[in-house]
């Protein structure tokens, strides 16, 4: 028999090994899932873990998917490290896309390249404004940031639908709910010809460096974490927990908004009802699998983008539903939660001892 025994302190080994074990558990369950569906598990795993990295073109598409996940997860890492539970990054992503799309629609044939930084700035401000609503309600009325941020996702989604079905609908779009295609001058510059990877990946890399410096090399980053995790100790030390709340939600909202701007002015090139791709929710898993560390988030963003691409390939090549992407994401999350138990507890075998019966021979 096996029992769980509390460790005197959290295990550093399992802190970083738990995500690896969770991935292995996800793979094993995935094999069983493919077998239950009557599919070759080798082919099934290959579309998730080999096809996305087997060529230069595949790697470029992997980076396209990983960029928004990485940017959003970096912002969420600030939130979660500050004990602020922003679950509505998807809504902030949508609002960033709307704000950026509104600026892009103003461009015409005479517009100069200055429009690109304006589009990105609009996306950041749109996401920050949506995150600021959550911060305001939490700060002034002590409303739950979990519920508020989550409900605002649906408000943002409905606002996007209203715009693309209504005032921003392309009159020459054959009645499809979409805006006109943005002018070429609004296109986010690509890093190389023949690839869809744009400067967003550079911004994401700079974000990784900036977050690492902020969290581990600045006094402001230290105050941010302490104010969120131990408000009483923060007040005693003169730190502001209110400031930590606002910084966390504005930073994460701005990051999600930037990802939305890069998406609509990059690969999509217009606003449609399908702009929400679930990146904001998937980035929550990315942040936790990456242990809320800037470097760890890079690897988990790549892994999660493999799940996105694998789900699309499984649909086209194996005839499986695209929702399989969500299944793998959920498996990874629950496997991680289970494996994280090993950080605080260790498995100990115990032998059952048969009690002596009085008078027995």
Q: How much is the average pLDDT of 195-214?
A: 96
pLDDT at 361: 44
Mean pLDDT, all residues of the chain: 92
Per-residue model confidence as pLDDT tens digits over 8-58: 988 989 988 999 999 999 999 999 999 999 999 999 999 999 999 999 999
Write out the chain in H/E/C secondary structure.
CEEEEECCCCCHHHHHHHHHHHHHHHHHHHHHHHHHCCCCHHHHHHHHHCHHHCCHHHHHHHHHHHHHHHHHHHHHHHHHHCCCCCCCHHHHHHHHHHHHHHHHCCCCCCCCCCHHHHHHHHHHHHHHHHHHHHHHHHHHHCCCHHHHHHHHHHHHHHHHHHHHHCCCCCCCCCCCCCCCCCCHHHCCCECCCCCCCECHHHHHHHHHHHHHHHHHHCHHHHHHHHHHHCHHHHHHHCCCHHHHHHHHHHHHHHHHHHHHHHHHHHHHCCCCCCCCCCHHHHHHHHHHHCCCCHHHHHHHHHHHHHHHHHHHHHHHHCCCCCCHHHHHHHHHHHHHHHHCHHHHEEEEECCCCCCCCCCCC
Phi, psi for residue 191 in degrees, rounded to 5: -75, -30
pLDDT at 4: 85
pLDDT at 352: 53
pLDDT of 209 above 80: yes
> Taking the alpha carbons of 281, 286, 289, 294 in that order, is the dihedral positive or negative?
negative
pLDDT of 206 above 70: yes
Per-residue model confidence as pLDDT tens digits over 97-117: 999 999 999 999 899 999 999
The answer to whether 91 and 284 are in contact (CB under 8 A) is no
pLDDT of 359 above 80: no
Q: Is 178 exposed, middle or buried (0-12, 13-18, 19+ CB in 10 A)?
A: buried
pLDDT at 273: 95
225 or 90, higher pLDDT: 90
96 or 6, higher pLDDT: 96
pLDDT at 360: 45
pTM: 0.93
Distances (CA, A) of 18 to 4, 151, 340, 341: 16, 32, 6, 9
Per-residue model confidence as pLDDT tens digits over 252-307: 999 999 999 999 999 999 999 999 989 999 999 999 999 999 999 999 999 999 99
Of the candidates 11, 23, 1, the one whose C-alpha atom is nearest the C-alpha of residue 346 is 11
User: What percent of the chain stands above pLDDT 90?
Assistant: 78
The answer to whether 340 and 2 are in contact (CB under 8 A) is no
pLDDT at 160: 98
User: What percent of the chain stands above pLDDT 70?
Assistant: 97
């Amino acid at each position: 028999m096996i029992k769980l025994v509390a460790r005197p302190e959290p295990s550093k080994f399992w802190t970083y090994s738990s995500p690896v074990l969770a991935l292995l558990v996800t793979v094993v369950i995935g094999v069983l899932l493919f077998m239950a569906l009557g599919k070759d598990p080798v082919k099934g795993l290959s579309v998730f873990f080999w096809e996305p990295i087997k060529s230069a073109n595949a790697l470029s598409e992997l980076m396209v998917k990983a960029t928004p996940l990485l940017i959003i997860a970096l912002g969420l890492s600030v939130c979660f490290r500050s004990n602020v539970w922003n679950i509505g990054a998807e809504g902030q992503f949508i609002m960033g896309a709307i704000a950026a799309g509104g600026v892009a629609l103003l461009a015409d044939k005479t517009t100069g390249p200055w429009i690109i930084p304006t589009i990105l700035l609009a996306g950041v401000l749109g996401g920050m404004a949506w995150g600021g609503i959550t911060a305001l309600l939490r700060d002034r009325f002590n409303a739950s940031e979990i519920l508020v941020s989550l409900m605002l996702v649906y408000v943002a989604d409905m606002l996007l639908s209203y715009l693309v079905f209504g005032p921003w609908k392309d009159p020459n779009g054959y009645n499809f709910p979409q805006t006109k295609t943005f002018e070429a001058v609004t296109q986010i510059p690509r890093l190389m010809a023949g690839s869809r990877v744009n400067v967003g990946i550079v911004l994401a890399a700079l974000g990784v460096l900036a977050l690492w410096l902020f969290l581990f090399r600045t006094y402001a980053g230290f105050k941010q974490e302490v104010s969120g995790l131990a408000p009483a100790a923060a007040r005693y030390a003169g730190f502001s927990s209110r400031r930590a709340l606002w910084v966390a939600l504005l930073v994460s909202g701005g990051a999600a908004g930037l990802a939305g701007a890069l998406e609509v002015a990059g690969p999509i090139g217009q606003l449609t009802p399908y702009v929400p791709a679930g990146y904001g929710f998937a980035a929550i898993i990315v942040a936790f699998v990456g242990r809320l560390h800037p470097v760890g988030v890079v690897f988990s963003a790549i892994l999660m983008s493999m799940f996105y691409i694998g789900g699309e390939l499984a649909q086209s090549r194996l005839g499986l539903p695209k929702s399989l992407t969500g299944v793998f994401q959920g498996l990874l999350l629950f496997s991680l939660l289970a494996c994280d138990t090993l950080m605080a507890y260790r498995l100990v075998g115990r032998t059952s001892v048969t009690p002596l019966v009085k008078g027995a021979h």
